[in-house]
Structure 1
């Protein structure tokens, strides 16, 4: 099939991984992809923040920036129209964004099915973290896309509840969680890149941009407790909490038992996961399908994660992970301690975590197949 893939992501960060991986899997399955997207996102290295778009967002009044966002949809529609006329795609696959009705306009004008991938309730998310000035317009744009897409594909059932609440019928909603590139995270073996010998250690690891509310300083304190001399902490990433973590380790005299990589290249991530025995998901957005957690599962890690509805869509306490009360950080630390002292439990949970990838079909290839199946159903109507 010929698929017109549309997104408005200008940065090249975690959200870009989803875009890149699903396109790889669609191409691997023999489908042709016609990409309509901001060129600046494609040209950046991984970790890029969107350049001029990010600066405009910081400098302009919110209302003006939001008007520019909506105005961009006119330009995006023209690009979509040109691509449709030139390539005659079978359907449009779009990553939903706020103030971006261009895909729906193209679907209606050219009578082509559109599948809308939804990774967050952006009206709620942006309102909470960045603030929204043109609230009625923003809410209209979200509702307009969700209600007019042929299929809406949220990454969790928790997120699907937001979509149901906007009047989208169940028949047009299909939950498709994030996935795993099996070739990179399962099929290949990697050398351990850690420049510290941890062969006699139990490595507790975290991947991501760490903030204070992750509570990773508590893990450093755990390492310092008597009896935990065999524990080693590996932080794959960076963030504002790094300085505090280093200070805590220095005060405890265990600097030699932590290692912080800083930002790593996306292609190097599978190798960096190699030395980890206990993998941490200390906090999670309520509606997210955490990519790092799936990568932990695929590489057979004993996982500690919050006992929240979206996490329970993938993990079960004592079956393929240990889940803790997200309101009680002491339970997070206790779960880590339990795994550190129970080799059999750690091994069993790690093995079952990896098996769950296959049992639940949590791969990008499976996601690509599901997308095409849904699109075929829309085309045949």
Structure 2
């Protein structure tokens, strides 16, 4: 049984879709207890009514409603468990959502909890959290109540350990890419020097990403055959477009906006240099594994969570938060591009060597589920 609370079609949706598709491919039966996601919605769409409600209500009231909603979810889970008799419950963690733990304990079904962020900290920092102490108790209860926790990085695992979960109940599983996409990329000819170097970025463009510095770097080397392709949205897009015009490189910069999931991958295939301008300290960025699979020269901040994925043999690093260092590293990449081709081949192979593959993740989940069933 797969339980989540995602109603938006975004990166969270991608994670759910990729893992569940991998489980289905391997012949496992899935039953979902989750909100209905509009399959026809554009990628990047929000959660509709829920998002509007969250913006309209005071934080404290919205948080109480979240917890109350968990009571309804508990009933749905109980009914589904009685009907389908699942071997394992797999849940994507969300705040104020202890229903999965309560239902699992009541019906003696093992619960595997996928954790993508310490949501008390994240929401406190970015959107505000009124009942922080209470929320922390609920988060700790949910994490410690699961039979196995799957944080997406070891940095995030430290948060889980701090909540009181023993190492024996923690398994770090990074995000990944599809097996067939990796196979397709590995079947491509060896990486060679190209007439035009495509620099790529996917995701929401925030001011602190320093994409203006990337445009500056390209403008300072107009003589080189460069093109910057940005996939995604962002409030600062008009300013970036104006900057490219002002610097005389509008023809070298393309903003594709929000596109479908499949189109994103098609664009990424053409990336020679890929940008990861910033990263949350505990994240396992989905885009990173796609950059790796196509053998792009990745420019990323040197942070512990990224160094779980990349190394000096597979990427170019810069100091996190230092936009000038980001620009200098990109400049190194575009002016000495051929010198770093070995990193591109190495990063492509590392996806396979480190098993950053959704199908491999699914296998690990099943192994964990079988082990937990043996102890029930």
Contact residue 209 and residue 277 of structure 2 kept, 8 A: yes
Cross-structure match for 1:194: none
Structure 1 residue 27 displacement after superposition: 0.6
Q: 1:88 to 1:377 in 2, by over 3 A?
A: same
- CA distance in structure 1 between the aligned counterparts of 2:266 and 2:370, rounded to whole angstroms: 37
Cross-structure match for 1:204: 199
- CA distance in structure 1 between the aligned counterparts of 2:326 and 2:348, rounded to whole angstroms: 22
The reply to whether residue 225 of structure 1 matches residue 220 of structure 2 is yes
Structure 1 residue 125 displacement after superposition: 0.3
| 3-state secondary structure, aligned to 1:153 | strand
Contact residue 186 and residue 298 of structure 1 kept, 8 A: no
- CA distance in structure 2 between the aligned counterparts of 1:347 and 1:81, rounded to whole angstroms: 54
Q: Deviations for 1:205-240, whole angstroms, at most 9, x for unmatched residues?
A: 111110111001111111111464322111111211
- CA distance in structure 1 between the aligned counterparts of 2:19 and 2:72, rounded to whole angstroms: 25
Question: Whose relative contact order is higher, 1 or 2, with alpha carbons under 8 Å and at least 6 apart?
Answer: 2
| 3-state secondary structure, aligned to 1:285 | coil
Structure 1 residue 23 displacement after superposition: 0.1
- CA distance in structure 1 between the aligned counterparts of 2:25 and 2:287, rounded to whole angstroms: 23
Structure 1 residue 160 displacement after superposition: 0.4
Contact residue 41 and residue 50 of structure 1 kept, 8 A: no
Of the structure 1 ranges 323-332 and 77-86, higher mean CA displacement relative to structure 2 is found in 323-332
Q: Deviations for 1:157-182, whole angstroms, at most 9, x for unmatched residues?
A: 00000011111101001100001112
Q: Which runs of 5+ in 1 are unaligned?
A: 191-198
Cross-structure match for 1:241: 236
Structure 1 residue 42 displacement after superposition: 5.7
Q: What is the TM-score of this pair, normalised by structure 1?
A: 0.94
The reply to whether residue 108 of structure 1 matches residue 108 of structure 2 is no
Contact residue 185 and residue 270 of structure 1 kept, 8 A: no
Q: Residue 354 of structure 2: which of 360, 369, 381 is its match?
A: 360
| 3-state secondary structure, aligned to 1:33 | coil
- CA distance in structure 1 between the aligned counterparts of 2:39 and 2:160, rounded to whole angstroms: 29
Q: Deviations for 1:252-281, whole angstroms, at most 9, x for unmatched residues?
A: 111111111010101212211122110000
Q: Residue 275 of structure 1: which of 270, 273, 285 is its match?
A: 270
Contact residue 186 and residue 299 of structure 1 kept, 8 A: no
Q: Deviations for 1:75-110, whole angstroms, at most 9, x for unmatched residues?
A: 111111111111110010000000000100110110
| 3-state secondary structure, aligned to 1:142 | helix
Q: 1:53 to 1:220 in 2, by over 3 A?
A: same
Q: 1:230 to 1:44 in 2, by over 3 A?
A: closer
- CA distance in structure 2 between the aligned counterparts of 1:58 and 1:334, rounded to whole angstroms: 39
Q: Which runs of 5+ in 2 are unaligned?
A: 188-193
- CA distance in structure 1 between the aligned counterparts of 2:345 and 2:44, rounded to whole angstroms: 31
Q: What is the TM-score of this pair, normalised by structure 2?
A: 0.95
- CA distance in structure 2 between the aligned counterparts of 1:355 and 1:299, rounded to whole angstroms: 10
Cross-structure match for 2:181: 184
RMSD of the alignment, in Å? Answer: 1.7
Of the structure 1 ranges 115-124 and 205-214, higher mean CA displacement relative to structure 2 is found in 205-214
- CA distance in structure 1 between the aligned counterparts of 2:124 and 2:337, rounded to whole angstroms: 45
Contact residue 222 and residue 249 of structure 2 kept, 8 A: no
Structure 1 residue 40 displacement after superposition: 4.3
- CA distance in structure 1 between the aligned counterparts of 2:38 and 2:126, rounded to whole angstroms: 23
Cross-structure match for 1:90: 87
Q: Residue 167 of structure 1: which of 164, 183, 188 is its match?
A: 164
Contact residue 234 and residue 258 of structure 1 kept, 8 A: yes
